[in-house]
Structure 1
Amino acid sequence: MKLPSTAHTSRPWRIHDIAPDFQFEDVWALRTPGGPDDLPRLVSTLVSDDSGTFPDSAPMPVRLLWAARWKIGAVFGWDGPNTGLGSRVNSLRDRLPEDLRQAPRGPDFKDVPFTSLYLLQNEWAAEMANRTVHTVMHIGWVADESGGYRGQMAVLVKPNGLLGAVYMTAIKPFRRLFVYPALLRSIERDWRAHV
């Protein structure tokens, strides 16, 4: 479920200080009920080899959109080795304060080009960059209405020039209507399978 922006912006997340020049895009509730110390388990579930059901388990329109994006990226060279972290943009790890540099990074995805930045008890962030955008996936672990905890996923972006701004505008309706709801269902399904 999509949440109001304040569900992310009003919380004292560390990512606010690390990426103040990134635009907040969306925040979504994850139906991943757990206890106060379960964020590392959620992160492990997200990045594990056996939870790689997205986009394979997504509805056909999402799989087609996903495949089209990678084909277009290949044609225009959006995702080449010289377009990402360490070449086109510096990693946000370079901005981390000393305490976060000493904190666990958290695991990296196996088949998705996101790299972990840090993992805390209630917050995890991973980044990815290509020719169009530098983006952060932020997973927070928050108290819910029932007295338990659940995850919430926020997306922060820094478009790369006019190309990035046009790209983000063009994909926004597809992200919100198709891709994120399918991704959230996949995360929630994987969570239930690992409980």
Structure 2
Amino acid sequence: MRLPDTAFTERPWRVHEFIEDFEIEDVWRLDTPGGPDGLARLVSQFDSDGADFKPSPMYKLLFAIRWRLGAILKWDGKEHGLGPRNPSLRDRLPDDLRDGPRGPDMKVVPLKSVYQSKDEWVTEVVNKTVHAAMHIGWVDDGRGGHHAVMAILVKKKGTLGKIYMPLILPFRRVFVTPSLVKAIGRSWHTRTAS
């Protein structure tokens, strides 16, 4: 379920300390009911080979188009990725987060882990259009349970990013992110059951 931005902005996440130049694209509640220490288990789900990640056919189609377009237009080359011209969010971390657990890089999509704490996990990707971060926070629901909240944060790069990102936003909100949210929930429930 999509949430208001305040579900992210009003929480005392550490990520707020170093993402002031990023915009919030979306905030979503993930169907991941659990206990107070559930984030580590959720993060381990992203560290798999993706065999239990089953997004919708539309999600797969849109990502296939995006990767093909990126290959043709050279949006995803090393020169546009993390490096001296595009520093990682890790370079902005305070010492305690930089020296703490990093978390896994994702295998299914090219997201690099920035840091992982007891209640936060941040990953990032950089290409010619955007520097994007995915923040997953573990929250108390006020009724004795916990669940994850996912925020997508973006910093558009150049004119291309300023045109491309708003252009794809409706597709992301209607097809991509809801499918991702459902797939995460299904994987969570499958792993919880076993």
Which TM-score band applies after superposition, normalised by the shorter structure? over 0.9
Q: Secondary structure at the match of 2:78?
A: coil
Report the 3-state secondary structure (helix = DSSP H, G, I; strand = E; otherwise coil) of the residue aligned with 1:188. helix
Displacement of 1:87: 4.5
Partner Cα separation in structure 2 for residue 138 and residue 187 of structure 1: 14
For 1:75, the equivalent position in structure 2 comes to 72
Q: In the alignment, which of 117, 122, 128 is matched to residue 120 of structure 1?
A: 117
In structure 1, distance between residues paired with 2:160 and 2:84:
18
| Percent sequence identity over aligned pairs | 54
Amino acid at match of 1:116: S
Q: How far, CA to CA, are the matches of 1:158 and 1:191 in structure 2?
A: 29
- Greater alpha carbon shift after TM alignment, 162-171 vs 44-53: 44-53
Post-superposition Cα deviations, 1:34-86, rounded to whole Å, max 9, x if no partner, equal 11011011011123114552xxx333222211111111111100011111111
3-state SS of paired residue (2:80): coil
The residue aligned with 1:16 is 16
Taking only aligned residues, the RMSD between alpha carbons, in angstroms, comes to 1.2
The corresponding residue for 2:145 is 148
Give distance in 1, aligned partners of 2:110 and 2:187: 20
1: distance between equivalents of 2:109 and 2:180? 13
Query: In the alignment, what sits opposite 1:25?
Result: 25
The secondary structure found in structure 1 opposite 2:45 is: helix
Letter in 1 for 2:161: G
| Residue type at the aligned position of 1:25 | E
For this pair of structures, how many residues does the alignment match?
A: 192
Counterparts of 2:76 and 2:191, CA distance in 1: 32
Paired amino acid for 1:66: F
| TM-score, length of structure 1 as denominator length | 0.94
Matches within 5 A, 1:86-97: 86-97=83-94
Do the aligned residues in 2 keep the contact of 1:51 with 1:190 (CA within 8 Å)?
A: no
TM-score with structure 2 setting the length: 0.95
Alignment match, 1:65: 62
CA distance in 1, matches of 2:108, 2:183: 15
SS of corresponding position for 1:103 = coil
In structure 2, which of residues 101, 104, 122 is the aligned counterpart of residue 104 of structure 1? 101
Distance 1:176 1:87 in 2: 32
Q: Which residue of 1 aligns with 2:169?
A: 172
**Structure 1 consecutive aligned stretches of length 4 or more whose deviation exceeds 3 Å:** none
- Deviation string, structure 1 residues 73-121 (Cα, Å, up to 9, x no partner): 1110001111111144101111111111111001111232111111111
In structure 1, the gaps of 5 or more residues are: none
User: Is 2:71 the counterpart of 1:85?
Assistant: no
The runs of 5 or more residues in structure 2 that have no matched partner are: none
The answer to whether structure 1 residue 181 and structure 2 residue 157 are counterparts is no
Name the SS of the counterpart of 1:142 in structure 2. Answer: strand
**Post-superposition CA distance 1:136-186 (Å, at most 9, x none):** 000000011532000010010000011001111110000000000000111
